[in-house]
Homo-oligomer: A and B are copies of this chain.
Amino acid sequence: MKTWTRKDLIGLDDLSTEEIQFLLDTATAFKGVGERSLKKVPALRGKTLVNFFVEPSTRTRTSFEIAAMRLSADVVNITATASSLQKGETLKDTALNLQALHADIIVLRHSSAGSPRFLADRLESSIINAGDGSHEHPTQGLLDIFTMRQKHGRIAGLNVLIVGDILFSRVARSNIHGLVKLGAKVTLVGPTTLVPAGFEKLGVRVAHRLDDVLEEADVINLLRIQHERQRKEYFPGLGEYVSLFGLTKARAARLKPGCLIMHPGPINRGVEIDSEVADGAGSVILEQVTNGIAVRMAVLYLCAGGAGLPT
């Protein structure tokens, strides 16, 4: 496959194996740009990107903003509290207005699953999903997979554990769809309330005890515990969570040499992961952040119709 034909990126579930690999290859080409002294290419000069965040996220917004600036695009930030959504305007009307303002790309973060697809079907602007409810967060999934591929040299055959709140996690869903397509063996790990029956049909294995599967992992991806988004009845107490699913020093010592420790951030030190382990040798948490720029540059570049990789 030599070309990319999509104007939008809604989820990894939509993409073919070849499309995911093409995105990762393009991100590899862009990764070099971030390592130069002059970290800027003219690829999207004169294009306008709107960061439209109806749910707050400084980290993802900043990553897209920097990626866009590296491509020489103009960036406008709109947040929900500041936006005219407050005046009762519908999401569709707001988006039609952004398109009328010549927004070439709209990066949307929204608490409702399906919002980006709804807009993508109605607008000519490229819609990039920056996280929609519990549905998908495709650029996070791509940057996780990019980091695994960079470190292990392949995805096919890797044993990847995804640990924590799978039920409500868009990061988990994007990882699952991408990893399964690329041939990884994915195991979801968490309490039955957060990893209920039914996930196996996505092509993954489910485990309810981290200690049972820890030692076979090539990658362990620890999801953030997000109290704000969960109903209490789904979730054990924090102490119980740490004892059953936290990556403590003792558990980290049992990991295979070369096992990657990943986390989408921000980390809760002492909860999902021991503080020293987070800063230790196997952790690639900050490399994930850096790779996020390259992945987002690739996504913006391809969806906005860029042709030809940077040289």
Taking Cβ atoms with an 8 Å cutoff, the residues of A that contact B are: 34, 36-40, 45-48, 50, 56-59, 62-63, 65-66, 69-70, 74, 76, 78-79, 82-84, 87-90, 93-94, 96-102, 265-269, 286-287, 289-290, 292-293
For A87, the chain B residues whose CB sits under 8 A away are 266
Contact of A267 among B69, B74, B93 (CB under 8 A): B93
For A97, the chain B residues whose CB sits under 8 A away are 59, 265-266, 286, 289
Contact (Cβ within 8 A) A88 B58? no
Contact (Cβ within 8 A) B93 A266? yes
Contact (Cβ within 8 A) A101 B293? yes
Given A40-B45, A293-B102: A74 and B82 interface contact (C-beta under 8 Å): no
Contact of A62 among B69, B101, B266 (CB under 8 A): B101
Give the one of A84, A94, A98 with max B CB within 10 A.
A84
Contact (Cβ within 8 A) A90 B286? no
For A36, the chain B residues whose CB sits under 8 A away are 46
User: Min CB distance, A278 to chain B, in Å?
Assistant: 9
**Complexed CA–CA distance, A87 and B36 (Å):** 32
Contact of A266 among B70, B78, B84, B287 (CB under 8 A): B84
**Complexed CA–CA distance, A226 and B167 (Å):** 41
For A47, the chain B residues whose CB sits under 8 A away are 39
Contact (Cβ within 8 A) B46 A37? yes
Contact of A102 among B34, B76, B79, B101 (CB under 8 A): B34
Contact (Cβ within 8 A) B56 A46? no
Contact (Cβ within 8 A) A69 B74? yes
For A39, the chain B residues whose CB sits under 8 A away are 46-48, 102
For A45, the chain B residues whose CB sits under 8 A away are 38, 40
For A268, the chain B residues whose CB sits under 8 A away are 88
**Complexed CA–CA distance, A287 and B101 (Å):** 9
Closest-by-CB residue of B relative to A37 is: B46
**Complexed CA–CA distance, A53 and B293 (Å):** 22
Contact (Cβ within 8 A) A287 B100? yes
Contact (Cβ within 8 A) B58 A66? no
